Structure formats: C-alpha cells, structure tokens
Structure 1
Amino acid sequence: MTLSARHAAAVLLSLAVGLAAVPSMAFAQKPPPPPGHGDGKPPPRPGDGNPPPRRGDGPPPRPGGGGDVHESAPASSGARTIVGEVWVDNWFRLYVNGVPLVEDSVAYKSERSFNAERFRFNADLPMTLAFEFRDFMENETGLEYIGTRRQQMGDGGAIAQFKDAASGKVLAVTSRDWRCLTVQAAPANASCADERKPDVSKANCAPVRATVASDWMAPGFDDSAWPKASLHSARDVGPKGGYDRIDWDRSAKLIWGPDLKKDNILYCRLTVGG
C-alpha cells in the first residue's frame, strides 16, 4: 500500500471511531416547538386556564369578591321592578315583606369580604325592607384574627339604595329613617383585644345579646321601640372593595349601630311607600 493509501485508511478509521463515540441521543428527533411557533396555534394568553397565584393575600378573588359589583336577579313577584344596591362590611341578608330575597354573595366567614351587590327584583308598594347586617367576628368575643399579631376588634358599616328600574327614581336609601337594633355587641371592654387568650367567660370579653321575635322582618312587626340608625362618615367606616363602583345618591348614608367596633350583628328595617 502506498503512503497516500495508508493516509486515507487512517483518516477513515479515525472518522469511524469518532462517530461511534457520539451518543445516540444526538440523532434523536428534536422536541416540537411551543404553541404559537409554527404549529398554526396562537400562544396561550395570560388568564387562560388557571390564573397565576397572587402574592400575600391568598387565592384570587371569586365572582362577587374583592372590588367587584356582583349582579343578580332573585326570583320575586310584583308590579314594580326595582334595582337594589348594597355595600356592607361585612355581610348582609335582605328580606322584602318578610320573605328572604338576597344575601351577600361572599360568605360571612371570608376574611376580606368587601364587595358590592346589585340586584333587580319585583315588588309592590308599600314594601318592608329588613336587613340582617353582620360584621366579621371569629367568635362571641367579637374579635378578629384571634391568636395573631393582628388580633383586634372589627368595625362595621352599611349603605344601600333602591331605585325604580323604569324611571330611575330613588325609592329608599339608608338614613336616619331606618330603625336598627343591635342584636350582638362584643367585647364588653376594648381591653379584651389585648388578651393572649380572649375568653367570653371573662367580663371584659363578654358579649351582649338582645332577644328578638322570630318575625322581626315581617311587615306587621312593631319596630317603634328600636332606636334609629346611627350615621357614620366614610372616613370612620373606610369603605372599600366595590363601594366606589356604585353611583350612590347623595341622600344615601352609611349606617350602623352607635358603636362601629362593638356592634357586630344588627337588624334594620324600613317600610317604603306606606
């Protein structure tokens, strides 16, 4: 074999050895391109499927929570169509003429239950509006975030308006005209919020409860002995989460019991068009 032939054989042998050393995965098929890169499908958009988790405040808000205005049309009967709008810290149930009509779409035990409600219903005048209002409390002490550094007394507040759907005329708003009875108030003394283990059996943490007839929401119930609603400023209540999404009539006022912090459960009534 000539020198050139030997040189060519050596080159071929070296090439064969090099190819044998290359991993078989080098010849494997490449993975398909991501969606939107050559397969004719658009890339996924933010919000498709499950939304990304939010930092610091738990799961994303559900419909009716956060800063939303939750809209509904509960079943009802009557010649007049009415639009009701309500914001409450923390929760409400509304009766019309003694019959349950609508309640807050965010559960009472939600930590941040700030939202507004708008609902359309039918009724005849006169009609009796009766609200059950509740501020969030973990137990009968009336406190929130018990056992944490945020342990405190809560504070409430509510505002509502009712308009004729056809004309837009205001039929009723929350004001001093409402009668509101505090059904549960606690704690007896603000020092309860400083207790390491607040206990309703202690005098400073004890609640006060009123006895109320079961038909308190009925049109014929006599509420003349109930005190008038107490008015509170937006600065004191600090409304948020849906409150600014409602165009409140100037006559609509924030109401509650006389004590924003201690009054936790209230019953409030008004007869419209009587």
Structure 2
Amino acid sequence: MKILTNALLVSLLFMVSCAENKSKGKSDLSANASKNITYKGTASITQGLAKTITEDIYTCERGRKTDVGEIVSTDGKKWTVPAETHYTDDSFPFATDLHNECEGKNYATTEEALSHFDASNTVEIDTDGELYTAYIFADNYFEMYVNGVPVGKDKVPFTQFNSSVVKFKVQKPFTIAMKLVDWEEHLGVGCEANRGKSFHAGDGGMVAVIKNEKNETVAVTDENWKAQTFYTAPITDLACVSEEGAYRYSKNCDTNGGQDGSQFYALHWELPKDWMKAGFDASNWPNATTYTNRTIGVDNKPAYTNFTDIFDDKDHDAQFIWSTNVVLDNEVLVRYTVK
C-alpha cells in the first residue's frame, strides 16, 4: 500500500538515557535506540513505557490492573494511555450488567439479566422516542453515545470479561458512536504479560446488537459500521506502518511482542472534535473490519456464550468489529446510523 504522499517527513534522533524505574515507566527515549528514523505519517510518536498517573481505577479478583498513564511524544504532545476515558466521570452513566463475574452478576440467560434491569437507568434522548436495547460485549472497554448523548460505559475496563445492557429512548434516525479501548498492562506500549512473554500484544474486538420495543433487531455490528484507530502499539519498526488518505495500516507490523518493551514505539492521533455527534462526517473513515468468534477468542467466556441467542442469532448474526488491526490498534472509534 502506498504511503500518503503529502504526509509530514519527520526525522527523529533518540538520545536519552534508559528509564530507571521500569515499574512506573518513563516517556524518555532510550539511548540504546539512538538512531535516525524516517517516518512518513500523521501520527505523533512515543517510545517506551508511560508514567503511571492513576492506579487501579477498578479492581476485580483475578482481573488485571486498570492503571492509567501519561507519555510525551517526540513533538511535545502529552498523551493519556491507553486512552482518555470518562470512567471516573459520574455524569457518564454505567451500563447495566448482562454478565459480570467481577461483581457476582453471573446471569445465565438474557431474560435473567433483564429481570434485574432498573428502568431508571434508561437514558431519554427524545421524550417521544422509541425504547431501544443494546447488548454489548467489548474487549476490553467501551463508551457509547447516541446522537452525542452518553448512554452507557463499561463497568469493567479490563478483565474479567463482562457484557452489558444499555437502554435508551430516541427517534429514528439515530447515530451510535462508541469509543473502544483495548486496555494495557504495560502502559504506553499496548502490552500485557501473556503466553510466556512479559510484553505480549493484546487484542480487541466489540460486538453489539440493538433491538426495539418489539424485540426486533434494528442493527448489528458488521462491515457497514465505520471504524478509525487513534492509538497503535507496540510497533517495533516504524517502517511497517503506512497511510492512504484516512486509512491507517499496521497490518505489515510484527505482533510477536517480547520480554522487554522499552524499545517499542507507539503511534497516537488526536481525536476529532464532536466525533460522537450525529452530524459528524465520518464518511472518509474505513469501514469496520469483521472478525470471527474464534479470532477474538470468546468461546470460553460466559459473558458471551450465555447470550449467543442474542449475539449469534441465525437471522441477525452480529459480527465482532474493530479497525484493520485487532491486535495492535488499541483505541478505536466506531459509528453507525440506524435509519
């Protein structure tokens, strides 16, 4: 794929000493990585681990740490990793549990979960609107808007894996916009300890089904959604990434990870203003890429398998969606209009 011809050419000289405190991480660039690197693209670049600014925004037995970090890119911009979210913002409502092992909400069926739904948690966008119900499984975290109004955020930012219910009243047509985050254990490089590697690249994925008051499916996640990435890591060689228009590709990049992430790079793009509003123009964003249940790895997760009547309905089979790279892309925005 050809690289965007009018992208800014940036020459980077990395000549800063190694971070001493690996547990908290530093945004300094390692002296061992000192070299001239030519990068053609629109992203800001960071290297190595971020500084932890908030620890454990959520705790769960057998769950991974949910820390938040900060890192400065070579162009002087400050970035929140894995993403800037509204998790601690009380004005942004939490979604209701469809299944949540962290809090003992181990519902076996959709009916059981809905029987515990508190009607006061329904978000009213239009007073004369129709009632809709969204069923969502996200790996790992989501924030959902309808016509720019916050309607639900994930209760569990990382693990154990959970699923959610969101109810809202709105008139058609309406636009769903979601921020999706693949959380990270090693802040700033998109990695977690897994499969014998200290720095293993994580993966994402989100599936959703929206039904009306008659329990009719009005939308499912598929290739007709729009999806754009805003944080990609870990990158071991910046030459592997490319852009064409609004398309940001990392499909040729190594996803193997390793035992030391201090040399890994990350790419960051600023989120556009009003990206969650109905009038935002995302027509140039790539269509979402779809992934199989097996690729995402949900066949052993009750938060998904207990609700295959919803997610895998033979007449309205929802697909897992993400950007073009479900492993390296860690912050993704998706949009879809229900007509």
The normalised TM-score by structure 2 is: 0.56
Identity across the alignment (%): 28
Determine which of 270, 275, 279 is the counterpart of 1:216: 275
Structure 2 runs not aligned, ≥5 long: 1-60, 65-100, 237-253
Could you list the structure 1 runs, at least 4 aligned residues long, displaced by more than 4 angstroms after superposition.
63-72
Which residue of 2 is the match for residue 76 of structure 1?
124
> 1:51-75 CA distances to partner (integer Å, 9 max, x unpaired)?
xxxxx94797314589897665333
RMSD of aligned alpha carbons: 2.7
Give the residue type in structure 2 aligned to 1:185.
Answer: T
CA contact (8 A) 1:141 1:186 kept: yes
Which residue of 2 is the match for residue 159 of structure 1?
207
Deviation at 1:169, TM superposition (A): 1.4
2:171 is equivalent to residue 171 of structure 1: no
Relative to structure 1, is the Cα distance of residues 169 and 154 closer, same or farther in structure 2, using a 3 angstrom cutoff?
same
> 1:80-117 CA distances to partner (integer Å, 9 max, x unpaired)?
011110001111010010111101121x2x4x231111
Which residue of 1 is the match for residue 137 of structure 2?
87
Give the residue type in structure 1 aligned to 2:209.
Answer: Q
Structure 1 distance, partners of 2:63, 2:328, is: 27
Structure 1 distance, partners of 2:324, 2:287, is: 10
Which has the larger share of helix? Answer: 1
Which residue of 2 is the match for residue 263 of structure 1?
329
Matches within 5 A, 1:192-207: 193-196=257-260, 198-199=261-262, 202=263, 205-207=264-266
The normalised TM-score by structure 1 is: 0.68
Structure 1 runs not aligned, ≥5 long: 1-55
Deviation at 1:229, TM superposition (A): 0.2
Give the residue type in structure 2 aligned to 1:210.
Answer: W
CA contact (8 A) 1:91 1:113 kept: no
Matches within 5 A, 1:31-70: 57=62, 61-63=102-104
Which residue of 1 is the match for residue 76 of structure 2?
none
Name which one, 1 or 2, has greater alpha-carbon Rg: 1
CA contact (8 A) 1:232 1:255 kept: yes
Matches within 5 A, 1:141-152: 141-145=189-193, 149-152=197-200
Give the residue type in structure 2 aligned to 1:156.
Answer: G
Give the residue type in structure 1 aligned to 2:204.
Answer: G
**Number of residue pairs the alignment of both structures matches:** 208
Relative to structure 1, is the Cα distance of residues 194 and 103 closer, same or farther in structure 2, using a 3 angstrom cutoff?
same
2:284 is equivalent to residue 225 of structure 1: yes
CA contact (8 A) 2:198 2:258 kept: no
Give the residue type in structure 2 aligned to 1:256.
Answer: W
